[in-house]
Amino acid sequence: MWVISGIPSATVAAASRHGEGGDVPLRNHKHGWSDKYYSTVWLMAGYTRYEIYMTGTGSWNGMNLTRVLARTGRRYLAGPDQDFVLRPATGFTPPAVTRAGLYLHIPFCRSLCPYCPYDRIAYDADLAEPYAQAVLAELARYAGGEHKIQASSLYIGGGTPTTMLNQLGPMLKGFHELFDIAGEVALETTVGDITPAVVTRLRALDVDVLSLGVQSFDDRLLRAIGRIYSGEAAREAVSVAQAAGFQSLNVDLMFCLPGQTVPDFLRDLELVAQLGVDQVTCCPLFSFPYSTAGRSQGLPELRMPPPRGRRVMYHAMHAFLEGHGYRRVSVWGFKKGQGPRYSSVTRDEYVGLGAGAGSHIQGLSWFNTFCVPEYMAACAAGRSPVALSMAFTPAMERSFWLYWRLYDSSLDIGELRDHFRADAGKLWLLLAKARVLGMVREEAGRLWLTERGAFWIHLLQNEVALRAVDRIWGVCLHDPWPGEIRL
Ligand SMILES: C[S@@+](CC[C@H](N)C(=O)[O-])C[C@H]1O[C@@H](n2cnc3c(N)ncnc32)[C@H](O)[C@@H]1O
Ligand code: SF4
């Protein structure tokens, strides 16, 4: 139980049901496809037996390989003096921000999904107003310059931001007073929160892009992961959101769900295409040791769905979506048409507000306390809500930049050269290897990941992201003001 200061005890009790209320155990993760089928599909897709072996079967499996590759790659790019350590940041003052992407974290959900690794707690109406006040107080910590701060976009994520529909207006007003937001305002929510009245309110608040967490349209799979709506309700929610006229509607799907087959996943993708959704983001189910899913499965360490299962599904997804007019816009995301691309994570420099939000500006990363009551107490008392920070060396900064550009799945060659000016030899060698291995192709001044490259990068990013998330979230979800965390 957290030690909380300055917040009424009923509020504290409600908020400290962190990650517990509403959780149901996940069923075991099993895949029923035969190895022969995997191998045939992948050989036909042009993958070598070596790749199939190294990412799929045997005692030296894909997770081991990607772990070694991720560590070697980080050491190669970030250099021997890398110091990826988050340290306590008492009394932290943010650096002057002149331009950034913005993120706002709303930690409330009406039901807590067992597999969810994020900083979220059961919704309590009594917490909504104090949380909004805390966000406004945190915003004030960035004020003081003569001009508004240039912001590329604002992304409101969670949790489930529509739980705070009544407070979104004042919070957005606070953001617009301080920042000149050039691009889109995007917000994510879940199926159960979508009604015609809700989407009308969101449009009235000038939300441009909506992301809807559907996960699957299959009732059996939804039940298996503890989602509390039906496939029919998900289809209805997509239609309601489309009718509201957002500039873009993204649908989140998950794959490698317990008991899901390739045809099951293809049926979900077919529905997305039939419904005319313009963007779809598909992630495999991640199991984090610290989440309920991790605990209920007794995972001794990070364990993802088996790489060979992910590989078959990744290829099926790629082939299906590209065949239906979607283009890859990130390692996980595919888009059709011209609306703004929906992405929560791929900004160079960003400022995050709210409990558990992370920021990265001018070689410095920091994280707010993940504990909602502590976050509110700190902001209400005029104290910094920042719990941890980490300074980047120029080489660490370069590798961090490259990591996110690879996530985008394409990058400007001129920008790449600029960033690696001090390390041109390393860059040249890396690119030469990537070309020989068929991971990248060059077109119109940009490098694009090929499907093979995207698959390998997705494996590497799983490893890096899951390791970082597991270390940071695993500690911060239980300790509001942690000590050092070595990544
Ligand atoms: C944090 S949720 C926020 C949106 C909303 N609360 C919802 O659940 O629909 C954003 C997305 O994260 C993804 N997600 C959450 N937990 C995940 C996990 N363990 N593995 C893979 N994706 C996950 C889901 O696709 C979800 O739509
Ligand atoms: S997946 Fe979405 S609704 Fe479920 S607990 Fe996580 S943030 Fe909340």
Which atom of ligand 2 sits closest to the CA of residue 109? 8
The answer to whether residues 141 and 192 touch, using CB atoms and an 8 Å cutoff, is: no
Residue located nearest, by CA, to atom 14 of ligand 1: 116
Q: Distance of alpha carbon 423 from its chain centroid, rounded?
A: 29
Residue among 113, 119, 270, 274 at smallest CA distance from 191 = 113
User: What span, in angstroms and rounded, lies between the C-alpha atoms of 249 and 238?
Assistant: 8
Provide the pLDDT for residue 4.
28
User: What span, in angstroms and rounded, lies between the C-alpha atoms of 356 and 100?
Assistant: 18
CA of 109 from ligand 2 middle (Å) equals: 6
Q: Which residues pair with 449 in a beta bridge?
A: 440
- At a CB cut-off of 8 Å and minimum separation 6, what does 75 contact? 82
Provide the pLDDT for residue 226.
85
The answer to whether residues 144 and 321 touch, using CB atoms and an 8 Å cutoff, is: no
- At a CB cut-off of 8 Å and minimum separation 6, what does 284 contact? 254, 255, 256, 304, 305, 310, 313, 314, 462
Q: Which ligand is nearest to the CA of 107?
A: 2
Provide the pLDDT for residue 403.
79
CA of 421 from ligand 1 middle (Å) equals: 37
Provide the pLDDT for residue 51.
43
The answer to whether residues 163 and 133 touch, using CB atoms and an 8 Å cutoff, is: no
Provide the pLDDT for residue 13.
31
Residue located nearest, by CA, to atom 21 of ligand 1: 285
User: What span, in angstroms and rounded, lies between the C-alpha atoms of 227 and 243?
Assistant: 24
Q: Which ligand is nearest to the CA of 344?
A: 1
Q: Which ligand is nearest to the CA of 234?
A: 1
Q: For ligand 2, say whether the CB of 19 is within 6 Å of any of its atoms.
A: no
C-alpha distances in Å from residue 179, one per residue of 64, 94, 151, 218: 44, 16, 6, 41
- At a CB cut-off of 8 Å and minimum separation 6, what does 428 contact? none
CA of 429 from ligand 2 middle (Å) equals: 42
SS3 call for 85: strand
Q: What is the pTM for the complete model shown?
A: 0.82
Q: For ligand 2, say whether the CB of 160 is within 6 Å of any of its atoms.
A: yes
70-81+393-487: which CATH number, 3.30.70, 1.10.10, 3.40.1350, 1.10.260? 1.10.10
Residue located nearest, by CA, to atom 25 of ligand 1: 252
CA of 114 from ligand 2 middle (Å) equals: 9
Label each residue of 215-253 as H, E or C: ECCCHHHHHHCCCCCCHHHHHHHHHHHHHCCCCEEEEEE
User: What span, in angstroms and rounded, lies between the C-alpha atoms of 450 and 433?
Assistant: 14
Q: Which ligand is nearest to the CA of 115?
A: 1
Residue located nearest, by CA, to atom 1 of ligand 2: 116
User: What span, in angstroms and rounded, lies between the C-alpha atoms of 282 and 44?
Assistant: 23
**Measured torsion, CA atoms of residues 199, 202, 206, 207, in degrees rounded to the nearest 10:** -90
Q: pLDDT tens per residue, the chain (487 residues)?
A: 222 222 233 332 333 333 332 333 333 333 333 344 444 444 444 444 444 444 443 333 445 566 666 677 777 776 767 677 899 998 899 988 888 999 999 999 999 888 788 899 999 999 999 999 999 999 999 998 888 999 999 999 999 999 999 999 999 999 999 999 999 999 999 999 999 999 999 999 999 999 999 999 999 999 888 898 999 999 999 999 999 999 999 999 998 887 888 899 999 999 999 999 999 999 888 765 544 444 444 433 334 556 666 778 888 998 999 999 999 888 788 999 887 766 655 567 899 999 999 999 988 999 999 999 999 999 999 999 999 999 988 888 887 888 787 777 788 888 888 888 877 777 788 888 888 888 888 888 888 888 888 877 777 777 776 677 777 888 888 899 999 988 7
- Pair of tokens at residue 213: 């967490």
Structural domain boundaries in the chain: 70-81+393-487
DSSP string, 401-456: HHHHHHHHTEEEHHHHHHHTGGGHHHHHHHHHHHHHTT-EEEETTEEEE-HHHHHH
CA of 188 from ligand 1 middle (Å) equals: 10
The answer to whether residues 117 and 23 touch, using CB atoms and an 8 Å cutoff, is: no
Most informative mutation of 26, 113, 227 for ligand 2 (most atoms within 8 A of CB): 113
Identify residue 13 by its one-letter amino acid code.
Answer: A
Burial of residue 92, with CB atoms counted within 10 A of its CB: 0-12 exposed, 13-18 middle, 19 or more buried: middle
Residue located nearest, by CA, to atom 2 of ligand 2: 159
User: What span, in angstroms and rounded, lies between the C-alpha atoms of 119 and 121?
Assistant: 7
- Pair of tokens at residue 387: 């719990």
Most informative mutation of 165, 254, 272 for ligand 1 (most atoms within 8 A of CB): 254
Provide the pLDDT for residue 394.
83
With both helix axes pointing from N to C terminus, report the angle between 394-408 and 451-476 in degrees, rounded to the nearest 10: 120
